Chain A
Amino acid sequence: MSGFNLMEDKLTNAQIAWRAAQDLEDGSYVNLGIGFPEMIAKFQPEGREVTYHTENGVLGFGKAPAPGEEDWDLINAGKKAITLNPGASFFHHADSFSMVRGGHLDLAVLGAYQVAQNGDLANWRVGSKGVPAVGGAMDLVHGAKRVAVVTDHVTKDGGPKLVETCTFPLTGVGCVTRVYTSLAVIDIADGRFVLREKLPGISMAALQAVTGATLHTEGEVGDLVVLEDI
Protein backbone atom coordinates (compact mmCIF):
# COMPACT_ATOMS: atom_id res chain seq x y z
CA MET A 1 0.00 0.00 0.00
CA SER A 2 1.63 3.18 -1.08
CA GLY A 3 1.49 6.04 1.39
CA PHE A 4 1.24 3.92 4.55
CA ASN A 5 4.37 3.90 6.71
CA LEU A 6 4.08 1.06 9.21
CA MET A 7 6.25 2.62 11.89
CA GLU A 8 4.96 6.21 11.51
CA ASP A 9 1.28 5.74 10.76
CA LYS A 10 0.46 3.04 13.30
CA LEU A 11 -1.45 3.93 16.47
CA THR A 12 0.30 5.06 19.62
CA ASN A 13 -0.22 3.08 22.83
CA ALA A 14 -2.57 5.83 24.03
CA GLN A 15 -4.66 5.47 20.88
CA ILE A 16 -4.78 1.68 21.25
CA ALA A 17 -5.86 2.15 24.89
CA TRP A 18 -8.52 4.65 23.79
CA ARG A 19 -9.94 2.18 21.28
CA ALA A 20 -10.00 -0.61 23.87
CA ALA A 21 -11.73 1.75 26.32
CA GLN A 22 -14.62 2.25 23.87
CA ASP A 23 -15.58 -1.40 24.53
CA LEU A 24 -15.74 -1.01 28.34
CA GLU A 25 -19.28 -1.97 29.26
CA ASP A 26 -21.44 -0.02 31.68
CA GLY A 27 -21.68 -1.81 35.01
CA SER A 28 -18.74 -4.12 34.35
CA TYR A 29 -15.98 -5.43 36.63
CA VAL A 30 -12.61 -5.09 34.95
CA ASN A 31 -8.96 -5.97 35.66
CA LEU A 32 -6.38 -3.97 33.72
CA GLY A 33 -2.92 -5.53 33.67
CA ILE A 34 0.13 -3.69 34.95
CA GLY A 35 1.67 -1.17 32.54
CA PHE A 36 0.14 -0.45 29.14
CA PRO A 37 -3.34 -1.92 29.87
CA GLU A 38 -3.72 0.38 32.90
CA MET A 39 -3.87 3.33 30.47
CA ILE A 40 -7.32 2.18 29.30
CA ALA A 41 -8.93 3.55 32.50
CA LYS A 42 -7.91 7.08 31.48
CA PHE A 43 -10.14 6.83 28.41
CA GLN A 44 -13.21 5.28 30.07
CA PRO A 45 -16.18 6.77 28.17
CA GLU A 46 -18.35 9.20 30.12
CA GLY A 47 -21.58 7.85 31.46
CA ARG A 48 -20.30 4.30 31.88
CA GLU A 49 -19.65 2.95 35.36
CA VAL A 50 -16.74 0.51 35.59
CA THR A 51 -15.46 -1.11 38.79
CA TYR A 52 -11.75 -1.88 38.64
CA HIS A 53 -10.26 -4.93 40.36
CA THR A 54 -6.64 -5.30 41.37
CA GLU A 55 -5.09 -8.63 42.35
CA ASN A 56 -3.76 -7.50 45.72
CA GLY A 57 -7.24 -7.16 47.14
CA VAL A 58 -9.03 -3.97 46.13
CA LEU A 59 -12.25 -3.55 44.16
CA GLY A 60 -13.40 -0.07 43.17
CA PHE A 61 -10.18 1.90 43.11
CA GLY A 62 -9.88 5.26 41.40
CA LYS A 63 -7.21 7.58 40.10
CA ALA A 64 -3.69 7.92 41.43
CA PRO A 65 -3.38 10.33 44.38
CA ALA A 66 -1.64 13.69 43.96
CA PRO A 67 2.13 13.51 44.52
CA GLY A 68 2.79 13.66 48.25
CA GLU A 69 -0.69 12.31 49.06
CA GLU A 70 0.27 8.63 48.68
CA ASP A 71 -0.51 6.10 51.42
CA TRP A 72 1.75 3.18 50.52
CA ASP A 73 -0.54 0.68 52.24
CA LEU A 74 -3.03 1.54 49.48
CA ILE A 75 -1.51 0.28 46.23
CA ASN A 76 -2.45 -1.71 43.15
CA ALA A 77 -0.82 -4.85 41.77
CA GLY A 78 1.75 -2.69 39.99
CA LYS A 79 2.74 -1.33 43.45
CA LYS A 80 1.49 2.12 42.44
CA ALA A 81 -0.42 4.28 44.96
CA ILE A 82 -4.18 4.43 44.31
CA THR A 83 -7.28 6.09 45.75
CA LEU A 84 -10.67 4.54 46.52
CA ASN A 85 -14.01 5.29 44.88
CA PRO A 86 -17.20 5.22 46.96
CA GLY A 87 -18.26 1.60 47.38
CA ALA A 88 -14.73 0.19 47.29
CA SER A 89 -13.82 -2.94 49.22
CA PHE A 90 -10.78 -4.82 50.54
CA PHE A 91 -10.32 -8.59 50.59
CA HIS A 92 -7.54 -11.13 50.94
CA HIS A 93 -5.64 -12.72 48.07
CA ALA A 94 -7.64 -15.96 47.92
CA ASP A 95 -10.89 -14.01 47.55
CA SER A 96 -9.24 -11.77 44.99
CA PHE A 97 -8.26 -14.69 42.76
CA SER A 98 -11.66 -16.31 43.33
CA MET A 99 -13.03 -13.21 41.61
CA VAL A 100 -10.61 -13.87 38.73
CA ARG A 101 -10.82 -17.64 38.19
CA GLY A 102 -14.39 -17.93 39.40
CA GLY A 103 -15.78 -16.08 36.39
CA HIS A 104 -16.81 -12.93 38.25
CA LEU A 105 -14.85 -10.43 36.14
CA ASP A 106 -16.35 -9.24 32.87
CA LEU A 107 -13.05 -8.26 31.29
CA ALA A 108 -9.32 -8.72 31.82
CA VAL A 109 -6.88 -6.83 29.59
CA LEU A 110 -3.24 -7.86 29.31
CA GLY A 111 -0.16 -7.03 27.27
CA ALA A 112 1.53 -9.59 25.02
CA TYR A 113 4.78 -10.72 23.50
CA GLN A 114 2.86 -13.03 21.19
CA VAL A 115 -0.76 -14.05 20.59
CA ALA A 116 -1.52 -17.18 18.55
CA GLN A 117 -4.54 -17.65 16.29
CA ASN A 118 -5.99 -20.22 18.71
CA GLY A 119 -5.90 -17.69 21.56
CA ASP A 120 -2.67 -18.85 23.21
CA LEU A 121 -0.91 -15.98 24.97
CA ALA A 122 2.79 -15.51 25.71
CA ASN A 123 3.42 -12.49 27.90
CA TRP A 124 5.55 -13.43 30.91
CA ARG A 125 9.04 -14.31 29.72
CA VAL A 126 10.94 -14.35 26.46
CA GLY A 127 13.70 -16.82 27.25
CA SER A 128 15.47 -18.71 29.96
CA LYS A 129 17.88 -15.95 31.02
CA GLY A 130 17.50 -13.63 34.01
CA VAL A 131 15.10 -13.88 36.92
CA PRO A 132 11.72 -15.39 36.00
CA ALA A 133 8.62 -13.70 37.43
CA VAL A 134 5.00 -14.56 36.68
CA GLY A 135 2.87 -12.62 39.17
CA GLY A 136 -0.85 -12.95 38.45
CA ALA A 137 -0.65 -13.20 34.64
CA MET A 138 -1.31 -16.96 34.46
CA ASP A 139 -4.37 -16.55 36.70
CA LEU A 140 -5.79 -13.47 34.97
CA VAL A 141 -6.16 -15.25 31.63
CA HIS A 142 -8.67 -17.68 33.17
CA GLY A 143 -12.20 -16.87 34.20
CA ALA A 144 -12.98 -13.40 32.91
CA LYS A 145 -15.84 -13.40 30.39
CA ARG A 146 -13.60 -11.58 27.91
CA VAL A 147 -9.78 -11.70 27.90
CA ALA A 148 -8.39 -8.96 25.68
CA VAL A 149 -4.86 -8.00 24.69
CA VAL A 150 -3.51 -4.57 23.83
CA THR A 151 -0.28 -4.61 21.84
CA ASP A 152 1.72 -3.16 19.01
CA HIS A 153 0.92 -5.18 15.89
CA VAL A 154 4.60 -5.94 15.33
CA THR A 155 7.80 -6.24 17.34
CA LYS A 156 10.41 -3.48 17.46
CA ASP A 157 12.14 -5.28 14.57
CA GLY A 158 8.93 -5.31 12.55
CA GLY A 159 8.26 -9.03 13.04
CA PRO A 160 4.74 -10.31 13.72
CA LYS A 161 3.36 -10.56 17.28
CA LEU A 162 0.19 -12.24 16.02
CA VAL A 163 1.35 -15.70 15.05
CA GLU A 164 0.23 -19.21 14.10
CA THR A 165 1.93 -20.71 17.16
CA CYS A 166 3.66 -18.92 20.04
CA THR A 167 7.41 -19.53 20.25
CA PHE A 168 7.85 -17.80 23.62
CA PRO A 169 6.82 -19.60 26.86
CA LEU A 170 3.03 -19.62 27.23
CA THR A 171 1.04 -17.74 29.84
CA GLY A 172 -2.19 -19.54 28.98
CA VAL A 173 -3.72 -21.79 26.35
CA GLY A 174 -6.61 -20.69 24.15
CA CYS A 175 -7.50 -17.81 26.44
CA VAL A 176 -7.49 -14.56 24.42
CA THR A 177 -10.78 -13.46 22.86
CA ARG A 178 -9.87 -10.08 21.29
CA VAL A 179 -6.70 -8.22 20.33
CA TYR A 180 -6.42 -4.43 19.99
CA THR A 181 -3.27 -3.64 18.01
CA SER A 182 -1.61 -0.57 16.54
CA LEU A 183 -3.17 -1.45 13.16
CA ALA A 184 -6.34 -3.45 13.77
CA VAL A 185 -8.99 -4.96 16.04
CA ILE A 186 -9.03 -8.72 15.75
CA ASP A 187 -11.24 -11.33 17.40
CA ILE A 188 -10.19 -14.89 18.04
CA ALA A 189 -12.93 -17.36 17.16
CA ASP A 190 -12.77 -21.07 16.38
CA GLY A 191 -8.97 -21.05 16.29
CA ARG A 192 -8.75 -18.22 13.75
CA PHE A 193 -7.95 -14.51 13.67
CA VAL A 194 -11.08 -12.68 12.51
CA LEU A 195 -10.40 -9.09 11.41
CA ARG A 196 -13.05 -6.67 12.69
CA GLU A 197 -11.44 -3.27 12.09
CA LYS A 198 -8.28 -1.97 10.45
CA LEU A 199 -6.72 1.44 9.96
CA PRO A 200 -8.27 2.87 6.78
CA GLY A 201 -4.83 3.70 5.34
CA ILE A 202 -3.46 0.16 5.30
CA SER A 203 -4.42 -2.37 2.64
CA MET A 204 -5.53 -5.89 3.47
CA ALA A 205 -2.41 -7.22 1.78
CA ALA A 206 -0.10 -4.95 3.78
CA LEU A 207 -1.83 -5.89 7.04
CA GLN A 208 -1.62 -9.59 6.22
CA ALA A 209 2.08 -9.18 5.41
CA VAL A 210 2.84 -8.08 9.00
CA THR A 211 0.58 -10.71 10.58
CA GLY A 212 2.02 -14.16 11.24
CA ALA A 213 -1.18 -16.12 10.57
CA THR A 214 -4.10 -15.84 8.17
CA LEU A 215 -6.54 -12.99 8.83
CA HIS A 216 -10.08 -14.10 8.18
CA THR A 217 -13.03 -11.81 7.57
CA GLU A 218 -16.70 -12.27 8.34
CA GLY A 219 -18.70 -9.59 6.56
CA GLU A 220 -17.43 -6.06 6.33
CA VAL A 221 -14.19 -4.92 7.99
CA GLY A 222 -14.77 -1.64 9.83
CA ASP A 223 -12.48 1.38 9.89
CA LEU A 224 -10.36 1.60 13.03
CA VAL A 225 -10.99 5.23 13.94
CA VAL A 226 -9.39 6.83 16.98
CA LEU A 227 -8.82 10.27 18.47
CA GLU A 228 -5.93 12.02 16.76
CA ASP A 229 -4.74 14.24 19.59
CA ILE A 230 -3.94 11.76 22.37
Chain B
Amino acid sequence: MNKVSSSVADAVAAIPDGAQIMIGGFGGSGAPVELIHALIDRFRATGSPKAITIINNNAGNGGIGIAAMIRAGMVRKIICSFPRSSNAEAFNEKYLAGEIELELVPQGTLAERIRAAGAGIPAFYTPTSFGTELAEGKPTEEFDGKMYVRERWLKADFALIKGQKGDHAGNLTYRLAGRNFNPLMAMAADTTIAQVAELGEPGTIDPEHVVTPGIFVDMVVEVPAPEQEEVLVRKGVIY
Protein backbone atom coordinates (compact mmCIF):
# COMPACT_ATOMS: atom_id res chain seq x y z
CA MET B 1 0.00 0.00 0.00
CA ASN B 2 1.42 3.36 -0.99
CA LYS B 3 -0.17 6.50 0.47
CA VAL B 4 2.56 8.88 -0.63
CA SER B 5 1.50 12.13 -2.23
CA SER B 6 4.13 13.83 -4.37
CA SER B 7 3.56 17.40 -3.13
CA VAL B 8 1.63 19.38 -0.54
CA ALA B 9 -0.33 20.98 -3.41
CA ASP B 10 -1.45 17.54 -4.66
CA ALA B 11 -2.25 16.44 -1.12
CA VAL B 12 -4.79 19.24 -0.53
CA ALA B 13 -6.15 19.42 -4.10
CA ALA B 14 -9.43 17.62 -3.34
CA ILE B 15 -10.53 19.72 -0.34
CA PRO B 16 -13.83 21.37 -1.38
CA ASP B 17 -15.61 24.59 -0.42
CA GLY B 18 -17.37 24.33 2.93
CA ALA B 19 -15.14 21.52 4.20
CA GLN B 20 -14.76 20.93 7.95
CA ILE B 21 -11.01 20.59 8.52
CA MET B 22 -9.13 19.53 11.64
CA ILE B 23 -5.68 21.08 11.81
CA GLY B 24 -3.16 19.59 14.25
CA GLY B 25 -0.94 21.51 16.60
CA PHE B 26 -1.08 23.39 19.88
CA GLY B 27 0.07 26.95 19.42
CA GLY B 28 3.03 26.61 17.07
CA SER B 29 4.04 23.10 18.15
CA GLY B 30 2.98 20.37 15.72
CA ALA B 31 1.26 22.74 13.26
CA PRO B 32 1.36 21.53 9.63
CA VAL B 33 2.45 24.88 8.21
CA GLU B 34 3.25 23.70 4.66
CA LEU B 35 -0.10 21.90 4.20
CA ILE B 36 -1.97 25.00 5.42
CA HIS B 37 0.00 27.25 3.08
CA ALA B 38 -0.66 24.91 0.14
CA LEU B 39 -4.37 25.32 0.85
CA ILE B 40 -3.99 29.12 0.89
CA ASP B 41 -2.04 28.97 -2.41
CA ARG B 42 -4.93 27.07 -4.00
CA PHE B 43 -7.49 29.54 -2.66
CA ARG B 44 -5.50 32.48 -4.01
CA ALA B 45 -5.17 30.85 -7.43
CA THR B 46 -8.70 29.47 -7.81
CA GLY B 47 -10.95 31.05 -5.12
CA SER B 48 -11.39 27.64 -3.56
CA PRO B 49 -11.66 26.14 -1.00
CA LYS B 50 -13.67 28.80 0.82
CA ALA B 51 -16.20 28.84 3.69
CA ILE B 52 -13.98 26.45 5.65
CA THR B 53 -14.66 25.36 9.23
CA ILE B 54 -11.40 24.88 11.15
CA ILE B 55 -11.03 22.71 14.23
CA ASN B 56 -7.86 23.51 16.20
CA ASN B 57 -6.96 24.33 19.80
CA ASN B 58 -6.32 27.97 18.88
CA ALA B 59 -7.38 30.42 16.20
CA GLY B 60 -4.09 31.23 14.55
CA ASN B 61 -1.11 33.37 15.48
CA GLY B 62 0.74 36.14 13.69
CA GLY B 63 0.40 36.24 9.93
CA ILE B 64 1.05 32.62 8.94
CA GLY B 65 -0.74 29.26 9.12
CA ILE B 66 -4.35 29.43 10.34
CA ALA B 67 -4.07 33.21 10.87
CA ALA B 68 -3.14 33.59 7.19
CA MET B 69 -6.15 31.44 6.20
CA ILE B 70 -8.39 33.76 8.20
CA ARG B 71 -6.80 36.89 6.68
CA ALA B 72 -7.23 35.40 3.20
CA GLY B 73 -10.98 35.15 3.85
CA MET B 74 -11.25 31.36 3.49
CA VAL B 75 -12.63 30.64 6.96
CA ARG B 76 -16.29 30.72 7.97
CA LYS B 77 -16.08 29.21 11.45
CA ILE B 78 -13.55 28.08 14.07
CA ILE B 79 -14.11 25.40 16.69
CA CYS B 80 -11.40 25.79 19.35
CA SER B 81 -10.66 26.16 23.06
CA PHE B 82 -8.41 29.22 23.19
CA PRO B 83 -8.70 31.81 20.43
CA ARG B 84 -7.32 34.66 22.57
CA SER B 85 -3.57 34.17 22.12
CA SER B 86 -1.02 36.98 22.24
CA ASN B 87 -0.74 37.29 18.43
CA ALA B 88 -4.29 36.39 17.44
CA GLU B 89 -5.13 39.70 15.72
CA ALA B 90 -6.31 38.00 12.51
CA PHE B 91 -9.05 36.10 14.35
CA ASN B 92 -9.83 38.88 16.82
CA GLU B 93 -10.50 41.43 14.06
CA LYS B 94 -12.86 39.12 12.13
CA TYR B 95 -14.60 37.92 15.29
CA LEU B 96 -15.23 41.38 16.71
CA ALA B 97 -16.48 42.48 13.27
CA GLY B 98 -18.91 39.55 13.27
CA GLU B 99 -17.29 38.03 10.19
CA ILE B 100 -16.30 34.66 11.65
CA GLU B 101 -18.21 32.22 13.81
CA LEU B 102 -16.72 30.76 17.00
CA GLU B 103 -17.66 27.55 18.82
CA LEU B 104 -15.77 27.58 22.10
CA VAL B 105 -15.04 24.12 23.57
CA PRO B 106 -13.07 23.35 26.74
CA GLN B 107 -9.71 21.87 25.75
CA GLY B 108 -10.19 18.43 27.27
CA THR B 109 -13.70 18.20 25.88
CA LEU B 110 -12.40 19.19 22.45
CA ALA B 111 -9.80 16.40 22.62
CA GLU B 112 -12.32 13.82 23.83
CA ARG B 113 -14.96 14.81 21.23
CA ILE B 114 -12.36 14.25 18.52
CA ARG B 115 -11.20 10.98 20.07
CA ALA B 116 -14.82 9.81 20.39
CA ALA B 117 -15.45 10.48 16.69
CA GLY B 118 -12.41 8.44 15.78
CA ALA B 119 -13.50 5.65 18.11
CA GLY B 120 -17.13 5.47 16.90
CA ILE B 121 -18.60 6.79 20.16
CA PRO B 122 -21.35 9.33 19.34
CA ALA B 123 -21.59 10.91 22.81
CA PHE B 124 -20.06 10.73 26.27
CA TYR B 125 -20.46 12.34 29.69
CA THR B 126 -17.82 14.61 31.22
CA PRO B 127 -17.71 16.65 34.45
CA THR B 128 -16.13 19.52 32.51
CA SER B 129 -18.30 22.64 32.10
CA PHE B 130 -21.14 21.41 34.33
CA GLY B 131 -22.87 24.45 35.84
CA THR B 132 -21.19 26.88 33.42
CA GLU B 133 -22.48 28.81 30.43
CA LEU B 134 -20.67 26.40 28.09
CA ALA B 135 -23.03 23.63 29.23
CA GLU B 136 -26.22 25.57 28.53
CA GLY B 137 -28.70 23.53 26.50
CA LYS B 138 -26.74 20.29 26.89
CA PRO B 139 -28.23 17.21 28.59
CA THR B 140 -26.88 16.45 32.06
CA GLU B 141 -27.02 13.32 34.20
CA GLU B 142 -25.97 12.26 37.67
CA PHE B 143 -23.59 9.32 38.05
CA ASP B 144 -22.56 8.13 41.51
CA GLY B 145 -23.64 11.41 43.08
CA LYS B 146 -21.88 13.77 40.69
CA MET B 147 -23.26 15.73 37.74
CA TYR B 148 -21.97 15.31 34.19
CA VAL B 149 -22.60 16.98 30.83
CA ARG B 150 -23.29 15.04 27.65
CA GLU B 151 -21.02 15.97 24.75
CA ARG B 152 -21.16 14.79 21.14
CA TRP B 153 -18.42 13.44 18.94
CA LEU B 154 -16.69 15.88 16.61
CA LYS B 155 -15.92 14.69 13.09
CA ALA B 156 -14.23 16.30 10.11
CA ASP B 157 -14.04 15.88 6.37
CA PHE B 158 -10.27 16.31 6.38
CA ALA B 159 -7.45 16.38 8.92
CA LEU B 160 -4.16 18.13 8.20
CA ILE B 161 -1.52 16.87 10.59
CA LYS B 162 2.24 17.04 11.15
CA GLY B 163 4.39 14.04 11.93
CA GLN B 164 8.14 13.62 12.27
CA LYS B 165 8.77 10.24 10.61
CA GLY B 166 6.34 8.55 8.28
CA ASP B 167 6.36 5.55 5.98
CA HIS B 168 4.52 4.66 2.76
CA ALA B 169 1.84 2.87 4.75
CA GLY B 170 1.03 6.03 6.74
CA ASN B 171 2.58 4.99 10.05
CA LEU B 172 3.68 8.09 11.97
CA THR B 173 5.82 9.34 14.81
CA TYR B 174 5.79 12.87 16.23
CA ARG B 175 8.37 15.30 17.55
CA LEU B 176 8.43 16.35 21.23
CA ALA B 177 5.21 18.12 22.33
CA GLY B 178 4.19 18.40 18.68
CA ARG B 179 2.08 15.27 19.18
CA ASN B 180 -0.81 17.05 21.00
CA PHE B 181 -4.01 16.84 18.89
CA ASN B 182 -2.40 15.24 15.82
CA PRO B 183 -2.99 11.52 16.60
CA LEU B 184 -6.62 12.22 17.63
CA MET B 185 -7.42 14.20 14.51
CA ALA B 186 -5.88 11.49 12.36
CA MET B 187 -8.58 9.14 13.66
CA ALA B 188 -11.54 11.50 13.36
CA ALA B 189 -11.49 12.71 9.74
CA ASP B 190 -12.78 11.03 6.59
CA THR B 191 -9.47 11.87 4.91
CA THR B 192 -6.29 12.40 6.90
CA ILE B 193 -3.34 14.09 5.23
CA ALA B 194 -0.01 13.99 7.08
CA GLN B 195 3.13 15.96 6.32
CA VAL B 196 6.30 14.38 7.68
CA ALA B 197 9.90 15.56 7.91
CA GLU B 198 11.29 12.11 7.05
CA LEU B 199 9.51 9.63 4.76
CA GLY B 200 10.71 6.07 4.28
CA GLU B 201 9.79 2.57 3.10
CA PRO B 202 7.59 0.45 5.40
CA GLY B 203 9.87 -0.93 8.08
CA THR B 204 11.81 2.27 8.62
CA ILE B 205 9.82 2.93 11.79
CA ASP B 206 10.17 0.29 14.49
CA PRO B 207 6.61 -1.07 15.10
CA GLU B 208 7.25 -0.50 18.82
CA HIS B 209 7.65 3.21 18.10
CA VAL B 210 4.68 3.83 15.80
CA VAL B 211 2.37 6.38 17.47
CA THR B 212 -0.30 6.67 14.77
CA PRO B 213 -0.85 3.39 12.87
CA GLY B 214 -1.23 3.84 9.12
CA ILE B 215 -4.88 2.73 9.12
CA PHE B 216 -5.75 6.25 10.33
CA VAL B 217 -3.78 8.02 7.58
CA ASP B 218 -4.84 8.39 3.94
CA MET B 219 -2.09 10.50 2.45
CA VAL B 220 1.48 11.20 3.51
CA VAL B 221 3.71 13.84 1.97
CA GLU B 222 7.36 14.55 2.73
CA VAL B 223 8.27 18.09 3.81
CA PRO B 224 11.95 17.99 4.77
CA ALA B 225 13.07 20.68 7.26
CA PRO B 226 9.52 21.97 7.84
CA GLU B 227 8.87 25.50 9.06
CA GLN B 228 8.08 25.83 12.76
CA GLU B 229 5.08 28.10 13.33
CA GLU B 230 6.33 29.78 16.51
CA VAL B 231 9.66 30.57 14.85
CA LEU B 232 7.84 32.19 11.91
CA VAL B 233 5.59 34.19 14.24
CA ARG B 234 8.60 35.46 16.20
CA LYS B 235 10.25 36.55 12.94
CA GLY B 236 7.07 38.42 12.02
CA VAL B 237 6.64 36.45 8.79
CA ILE B 238 3.43 37.17 6.86
CA TYR B 239 2.23 34.52 4.40
Please list the residues of chain A having a beta carbon within 8 angstroms of any beta carbon in chain B.
55-58, 71-75, 77, 79, 90-94, 96-97, 100-101, 120, 130-139, 142-143, 169-173
Q: Which of B122-159 contact A (CB under 8 A)?
A: 126-134, 147
**Is A90 touching B174 in the complex (CB atoms < 8 A)?**
yes
Q: Which of the residues B83, B88, B108 comes within 8 Å of A97, measured between beta carbons?
A: B108
B127 touches A142 (CB 8 A): yes
Given A94-B112, A139-B128, A72 and B28 contact (CB-CB distance below 8 Å): yes
Are A90 and B176 interface neighbours, CB within 8 A?
yes
Q: Give chain B residues whose Cβ lies under 8 Å from the Cβ of A58.
A: 177
- Asked if A94 and B131 make an inter-chain contact with CB atoms under 8 angstroms apart, the answer reads no
10 new A-B pairs (CB below 8 Å) besides A72-B228, A170-B133?
A57-B180, A73-B176, A75-B177, A92-B183, A93-B107, A94-B114, A133-B83, A136-B81, A169-B132, A170-B132
A212–B174 CA distance with the chains assembled, in angstroms: 49
Do the beta carbons of B179 and A134 come within 8 Å of each other?
no
Bound-complex Cα distance A130 to B84 (A): 9
**Do B106 and A139 touch across chains, with their CB atoms under 8 A apart?**
yes
- What total of chain B residues lie within 8 Å of the partner, measured CB to CB? 54
* A73–B131 CB distance below 8 A: no
Q: Measured between alpha carbons, how far is A139 from B106 in the docked complex, in Å?
A: 7
Please indicate the chain B residues that have their CB under 8 angstroms from the CB of A135 in the complex.
81-82, 106-107
Chain A residues with CB below 8 A from B180, complex form: 56-57, 92-93
Listed stretches B4-12, B43-51, B64-72, B91-99; interface member: B91-99
> Quick one: which of B179-216 are within 8 Å of A by CB?
179-184, 211
Q: Which residue of B lies closest to A58 (CB)?
A: B177
Distance between B214 CB and nearest chain A CB, rounded to angstroms: 17
Nearest CB on B from A136, distance (A): 4
Q: With A and B bound together, what is the CA distance between A107 and B178 in angstroms?
A: 25
Q: Is the interface of A mostly helix, strand, loop or mixed?
A: loop
**Contact flag A138-B129 (CB < 8 Å), given A57-B179, A93-B107, A94-B184:** yes
Cβ contact within 8 Å between B127 and A79: no
With A90-B176, A135-B81 already in contact, the answer to whether A55 and B107 are too (CB < 8 A) is yes
Is the CB of B41 closer than 8 A to any CB of chain A?
no
Q: In the bound complex, do residue B81 and residue A134 qualify as a contact, i.e. CB atoms below 8 Å apart?
A: yes
Measured CB to CB, the nearest residue on chain B to A131 is: B84
Which residues of the partner chain A approach B83 to less than 8 Å between Cβ atoms?
A: 131-133
Q: List, in ascending order, chain A residues with CB within 8 A of B174's CB.
A: 90
Asked if B170 lies at the interface with its beta carbon under 8 angstroms from chain A, I say no
Contact of A136 among B104, B108, B126, B182 (CB under 8 A): B108
> What's the least CB distance linking A8 to chain B, in Å?
32
- In the complex, what's the smallest C-beta–C-beta distance from B10 to chain A, in angstroms? 26
- Do B177 and A138 touch (CB < 8 A)? no
| Chain B residues closer than 8 Å to A93, beta-carbon distance | 26, 57, 107-108, 110-111, 180-181, 184
With A79-B230, A139-B108 as contacts: A92 and B127 at CB distance below 8 Å: no
Listed from nearest, the 10 A-B pairs whose CB atoms lie closest are A97-B108, A139-B108, A173-B131, A133-B84, A93-B111, A72-B230, A136-B107, A142-B127, A138-B106, A94-B115
Q: Which of A77, A130, A131, A142 contacts B128 (CB under 8 A)?
A: A142
Can you identify 17 A-B contacts, CB atoms within 8 angstroms?
A72-B28, A72-B230, A79-B28, A90-B174, A90-B176, A92-B183, A93-B108, A94-B184, A132-B104, A133-B104, A134-B81, A134-B107, A135-B107, A136-B106, A136-B108, A138-B109, A170-B132
